[in-house]
Amino acid sequence: MGYLEAIVLGIIQGVTEFLPVSSSGHLELAKALFGGHLIPQESLTFTVVLHFATALSTMVVLKKEIFQIVKGLLKFSWNEELQFSLKIIVSMIPAVFIGLFFEEELETFFSGQILLVGFMLIITSLLLLFADKAKNSNKGVSFFNAIVVGISQGLAILPGISRSGATISSSVLLGIDRTTAARFSFLMVVPLIFGKIGKDVFSGAINFHNSQIGLLTAGFFASFFAGLFACKWMIALVKKSKLSYFSIYCFVVGVAAIVITLMNK
């Protein structure tokens, strides 16, 4: 992998982490187009670095919300900020469960499974289509809703199922305010990313070599700045009910991935 490929993959991750088109699915497609030269460990390390960059971009865009949450937690009372934080923790339970008990099985999905990516993108397309047609509502996030949205986030571990698409769509279908749905979706993944990074680093699954530093840095900054743009853009798009465009895109890319894979067999 060269610097151009690292930057392109970084931009893809930064944009698709927030847009409902599946960042993991697009990374797998991009790696396949580049020839799939990354060995599994290098691929995991690079993917984790890119996710770390988008987590930081989320924190920058939503810094006011994060500050309010921290401020509320420091009051040590049953306030809205504490309840919101607990809802984020509750939403993480399904993904943590799946990650802990099915890690080895999940890793097999990130090894050029383009046919799977294609079918999952079509499922993402249908979710976005249903959500786009849902009526607007001003409801907030309840603890029950947090569990349901968390389950959708857990299922989105599969490459091709958009995490933001699944969580925002399920939130909107539950009647949650669209802007709240987008912000909750982006905030709920930050602890998971940092937790996953910490687990991989301490377990030795990720090893940084001096020869990789330049490529990882290039990918990191490309992903970070692309993420800043995409996060702000996506919040505005969800508010304006513009998910149908992404539904069409996911369907077209999904079908194309399936057709190309079957033709090459």
Most confident of 29-43, 136-150, 232-246: 136-150
Q: What is the pLDDT of residue 199?
A: 78
Q: What is the pLDDT of residue 40?
A: 44
Q: What average pLDDT does the chain have? A: 84
pLDDT over 80 at 25, yes or no: no
Q: What are φ and ψ of residue 159, in 5° steps?
A: -65, 125
Q: What is the pLDDT of residue 41?
A: 47
The pair of three-digit structure tokens given for residue 46, joined into one six-digit string: 């690079």
% of the chain with per-residue pLDDT over 90 = 28
pLDDT over 80 at 206, yes or no: no
- Rounded to 10 deg, the angle between the 213-239 and 3-16 helix axes is 30
Q: What is the pLDDT of residue 208?
A: 63
The Cα–Cα gap between 170 and 181 comes to 9
For 120-146, the pLDDT digits (tens) are 999 999 999 998 888 878 888 999 999
Reduce the DSSP state of residue 176 to 3 states and report it. Answer: strand
Q: What is the pLDDT of residue 44?
A: 67
For 141-195, the pLDDT digits (tens) are 999 999 999 999 988 888 888 888 899 999 999 999 988 898 899 998 888 888 8
Whole-model pTM?
A: 0.81
Q: Which position has the token pair 């996953």?
A: 196
For 56-115, the pLDDT digits (tens) are 999 999 998 888 888 877 877 788 888 888 999 999 899 888 877 776 666 665 566 788
% of the chain with per-residue pLDDT over 70 = 88
Question: What is the tally of helices (H) and strands (E) in the chain?
Answer: 12, 0
Distance of CA 245 to CAs 21, 144, 217, Å? 10, 29, 32
pLDDT over 60 at 37, yes or no: no
Q: What are φ and ψ of residue 96, in 5° steps?
A: -65, -45
